[in-house]
Homo-oligomer: A and B are copies of this chain.
Amino acid sequence: MRSELLDRVLSLLPRRRGPLEPPLSERCAQDLALLGEMLGDYPRRGGKGLRSELLLASARAHGAGRDPARWEAALWLAAGLELFQNWVLIHDDIEDDSEERRGRPALHRLHGVPLAINAGDALHASMWAAVHRAGVPGGMEAFLEMVWRTAEGQHLDLAWVEHRRWDLTEADYLEMVRLKTARYTVVVPLHLGALAAGVTPDGRFLAAGLRLGTAFQIRDDVLNLSGDAAKYGKEIGGDLWEGKRTLIVLHWLAHAPQDQQATFLDQMRRDRADKDAGAIAEIHRWLLEGGSVDYAQAYADAQAAEGLELLAGALADAPDQAAARELLNTVRELATREA
């Protein structure tokens, strides 16, 4: 994220208002310094800040760039989105038992699960501090809707892993993605940008954002199997090790020979540590060579095209047309990214 936002994010981390009475013991002060490090760790790893950029582009398109107070509010909301992204990633990485985040070990692999859950909770509170600081009417409601819907999508994703469920349709997957990813990645940034500018969000943002956000997630699934590890920042093939449901896998499973299906389901029944590296590599090849990655990419492209058209329509009368074009470019990039 841009350094201006990182500064705001860091300014919202828990801090003491004054000295404690009695003063902290050396032991406690030293241990609390570790909490401070943990809270700043993911934000400092340099995420791309896609969602905050999208929010700021939406705010400019709606005219907030010309009003210092509204721009200031937009920046606090953007910091809030970054805080959301970061606390959610800490908890997601535990829930999925991911190994890496942004090219380094996941936080719970550095400090253990208990401390990492707790750090995510403290960062979650900082997100609400950002929303409160922005003071934008409708901001609290938008963040509430975002956290709740994202938690619903995450619940579906995790429940399918927990219950070893593979009898899923593409429609199930797409609903999960709309809840878990599309809203907070595209719909909510578009909405918040409008709210920061004091404008009621256009009704078409929802349909546009769901399509663009779906394209974004499918693109992520594709990159997870076929991306460049250095750019992607997570392990390639990690979704297979973690047993994630993706459009790619569900499409392949519906068309694969029975013996390949059996190999796949046998591996997916196992916990990560019990999976067989050779079998996972073979499954990885089947997914790439069987056309399912291409199928998913084509679906993503179609969703992105529909979403962009809807969004262009919604922005046709936006007060700042140069900013609106920039917003469309940002969104296009997000849905078709290489990393």
Interface residues in chain A, defined as those with a beta carbon under 8 Å from any beta carbon in chain B: 14, 20, 22, 24-25, 27-28, 31-32, 34-35, 88, 91, 94-96, 111-115, 117-122, 124-125, 128-129, 132, 140-141, 143-144, 147-149, 151-152, 154-156, 158-162, 168-169, 171-172, 175-176
Contacts and interface: CB of A to CB of B under 8 A. Distances in A.
Contacts of A176: 28
Given A25-B171, A28-B156, A114-B161, 13 more contacts: A25-B169, A28-B175, A31-B159, A94-B114, A94-B117, A95-B118, A111-B162, A114-B158, A115-B155, A117-B117, A122-B147, A122-B148, A125-B151
Given A25-B172, A125-B148, A175-B24, A118 B31 contact: no
Given A28-B172, A124-B121, A35 B155 contact: yes
A169 to B, nearest CB: 7
A146 to B, nearest CB: 9
Given A111-B162, A122-B147, A128-B144, A14 B175 contact: no
Contacts of A148: 14, 122, 125
Contact of A115 (B118, B132, B159): B159
Given A162-B111, A175-B25, A154 B118 contact: yes
Contacts of A125: 143-144, 147-148, 151
A172 B27 contact: yes
- Copies of this chain in the oligomer: 2
B114 A31 contact: no
B114 A14 contact: no
A161 B118 CA distance: 14
A96 B122 contact: no
Contacts of A160: 31
Nearest to A148: B14
Contacts of A172: 25, 27-28
